[in-house]
Structure 1
Amino acid sequence: MLAVFEKAIGNPPEELRLPSVGLDSDGKKTREEILQTFRLLWPESTFYHLSNGNFMTLSHGAQGPLHPRSMVVMDDIFCIFIGTLVNISELRRHYGLSRQATEAMLVVDAYKVLRDRAPYPPDQVIKDLEGKFAFILFDAKSSTLFVARDREGSIQLKWGMAGDGSLVLSDDPNTIEKACGKSSASFPPGAAAAGGAGRCPTP
């Protein structure tokens, strides 16, 4: 999976900001260059082009059976989910969802419930999720980005800063390295981060 957002939506945290001189700036790409590179590597991917050059994309290439990937769009909310929830049956009942509801659908519903009862801290959405997972959710109506990873860090998720200052998120370390050079790190296990207009996604 790969998601790239402009600074106004996903302002990278300070620890990802390296001086833009010398070797530290080598290898960083713009959003357009990152998208072009990913399309060449994974031509069968599903792409969602969002406003202002932001995008989310998902490939099922090299997908492991223990960590399935899914993507859903509901009510202008885009969600990529990797992994599984061991308590999904219980959560489906809690949110009144059908047996066919995927993990991605469940995360969107949980987000909507808490969003509509705001204010809630981002980690409130993931406190009841049990399993091995990582997800990226984007609410297009409010331009809100929400990213989370399970407590054990079972699913690989990295974030970095592109050459134009955009936030890059991916489960593929090679993609992050090509996009961000040295301006990247693992997303903290057990963390949930929310970002949007004027907000920095700090876990």
Structure 2
Amino acid sequence: MLAVFEKAIGNPPEELRLPSAGNDLGGKKTREKILENFRLSWPESTLFHLSDGNFMALSHEAENPFHPSRSMVVMDDIFCIFIGSLANISELRRHYGLSRGATEAMVVVEAYRVLRDRAPYPPDQVIKDLEGKFAFILFDGKCSTLFVARDREGSTELKWGMAADGSLVLSDDPKTIQEACGKSSASFPPGCLFTNGNGLTSFVHPLHQVKAIAREDDDGNICGVMFQVDLFTRLPSIPRTGSAANWADITVVKGE
């Protein structure tokens, strides 16, 4: 899968830019070039063009047709790509009043709609109800809301990065991320969710901060960045929002 959103919508954490110093593009591509390369590699993919040059794409190539692990759905201008499976999907279908044929992507869309329209509780409460191995990308076209999550164990691959123009890039294919973002990429942290309004948070440890950790090589150059929950830092009652919450507390560690 692949999803690319302009900086104004994706609002990627600035820490993703760290390994590419200054204005060095470091092999990063524009949104147009990223899409062109993806379509050349996966010509049979399903592609949704969103507003302002944003897009979401999913390929079913090389997937076992008897055990599909990828689904994509569009409901009421909400786009969702889901990879993996939900162990409690039958329970979730009943909870949200969905038919037995509802896919994992449909369940996630319905959960998001309840959260958006009626639920008086934070997003982590919704994600905690999802049991299984999964990663999903959801975009609400009506309110330009981006919602991304990965399961607790990180069982399903998901990476994110920053393109040449500052756009947010998300994919389950490491090669796609590497070609699109160069060094400005990292694994999306397990047990976490990201929204373009509240930034990166942990749904496993919602009261603790998710920090960026930069890795340095022997010459003191930043060669990579990762995100992990800081169990020693407790968030205030009203947490800071946006990527600045992570940027203020970035940690640097020396590589081996």
Alignment of 1:102-117 (within 5 A): 102-117=103-118
Deviations 1:24-57 (A, max 9, x none): x221001000000000000000000000000000
Alignment of 1:71-90 (within 5 A): 71-90=72-91
In the alignment, structure 2 segments of 5+ residues that lack a partner are 202-256
Residue 136 of structure 2 is matched in structure 1 by 135
In the alignment, structure 1 segments of 5+ residues that lack a partner are none
Deviations 1:63-101 (A, max 9, x none): 357671000000000000000001000110111100000
**1:122 offset after TM fit, Å?**
2.6
Alignment of 1:11-90 (within 5 A): 11-18=11-18, 19-22=21-24, 25-63=25-63, 68-90=69-91
Rg bigger for which structure?
A: 2
Q: How many residues align?
A: 198
Q: Secondary structure at the match of 1:78?
A: strand
4+ residue runs over 4 A deviation: 64-67
Residue 200 of structure 2 is matched in structure 1 by 202
Q: Secondary structure at the match of 2:7?
A: coil
Task: State the AA in 2 paired with 1:159.
Answer: W
- CA–CA distance in structure 2, aligned partners of residues 60 and 45 of structure 1: 7
Q: Does structure 2 retain, via aligned residues, the 8 Å contact 1:27–1:180?
A: yes
Structure (1/2) with the larger strand percentage: 2
Q: Does structure 1 retain, via aligned residues, the 8 Å contact 2:192–2:200?
A: no
Task: State the AA in 1 paired with 2:26.
Answer: D
Residues 28, 10 of structure 1: alpha-carbon distance in 2 compared, 3 angstrom cutoff? same
- CA–CA distance in structure 1, aligned partners of residues 59 and 124 of structure 2: 27
Q: Secondary structure at the match of 1:168?
A: strand
Q: Secondary structure at the match of 1:178?
A: helix
Deviations 1:113-169 (A, max 9, x none): 010125643322211000000000000000000000000000000000000000000
CA RMSD of aligned residues (A): 1.5
Compute the TM-score of the two structures, normalised by the length of structure 2.
0.74
- CA–CA distance in structure 1, aligned partners of residues 111 and 191 of structure 2: 17
Task: Tell me the percent identity.
Answer: 77
Residue 164 of structure 1 is matched in structure 2 by 165
Q: Secondary structure at the match of 2:80?
A: strand
